[in-house]
Amino acid sequence: MEILRSMRSVLLAYSGGVDSTFLLKALGLAGVRVLAVTASSAIMPSEEVRTAMQRARLVEADHRIIRLDVLLNDDFVKNTPDRCFICKSMLFEELATIAGTERYEYILDGSTASDATEFRPGRKATRRYGVRSPLEDAAMTKEEIRSLSRDLGLATWNEPSSPCLATRIPYGQRITEEALRRVERAEQYLRSLGFADVRVRDHASIARIEVRKDDIHRFLDSEKRATISAMLKSFGYVFVSVDLDGYEAGRMDRLIAKSP
């Protein structure tokens, strides 16, 4: 809390997820002047933008939505391993403009100590734009943040992580509006069936479904399997598969490790 109290005014890159919602609440408790900014873009499901609005309202924080047209940036669309750096650079450039115009002293994000151990090219953008990560500075892990969020009564405390839709597309495969929308629709549908942690990896004409290992058996029901297959094909896929290894965060990053 002392780290936060040392800041008089901040802009927070706010996704509405576990970490940024906890940080937004903590900033309010510390009496910091804060504006939470959510970037609406093709890679963020519209449902999550609405959720971010609702959660900012619940913690009585000032909130603003900006539009980030990532698909107009061909370097992003090319989908190299630096994709996240390019996106974060676009976001922080917008936030830096707002901070300068409206006199906010710091720009913050919700990165944690746990993020430091993962492949996160977007962290280069935080350094380039001088963005501070107070949760990481305080050496707080995701597990600790979930526990404290529960103590504060935040609904996000046990919510699954939800990285942007671009993470469902293999590096090197161009990111298109069409691919992002079919992923979004497929995941919304599978969540409506009760699959909590679910990813639909988009391999062009192939949908590769990842769910928790203890949920894989649900695809053995022939009627349910046929219904799911038909629905995902109606979204534009030609083939529908289930990954027998189950859901694993950062699965697409394996392709980087295997690159020569």
CATH number at residue 71: 3.40.50.620
Residue 254 pLDDT: 64
- The answer to whether residues 43 and 149 belong to one domain is yes
- Residue 197's domain comprises 165-257
Estimate to the nearest angstrom the gap between the alpha carbon of 253 and the chain centroid.
16
Distance in angstroms (rounded) separating the CA atoms of residues 12 and 92: 10
Residue 257 pLDDT: 52
- The answer to whether residues 185 and 240 belong to one domain is yes
Residue 140 pLDDT: 95
- The answer to whether residues 139 and 62 belong to one domain is yes
Residue finishing a domain among 99, 133, 158: 158
Residue 256 pLDDT: 64
0.75 exceeded by pTM = yes
Residue finishing a domain among 121, 137, 158: 158
Residue 123 pLDDT: 84
* Residue pair 209/198 in contact by the 8 Å Cβ criterion: yes
Distance in angstroms (rounded) separating the CA atoms of residues 240 and 182: 12
Q: Domain with 208 in it: what CATH number?
A: 3.30.70
Residues of the chain with pLDDT below 50 are 258-260
Q: How many angstroms separate the most distant Cα atoms in the chain?
A: 59
Residue 162 pLDDT: 84
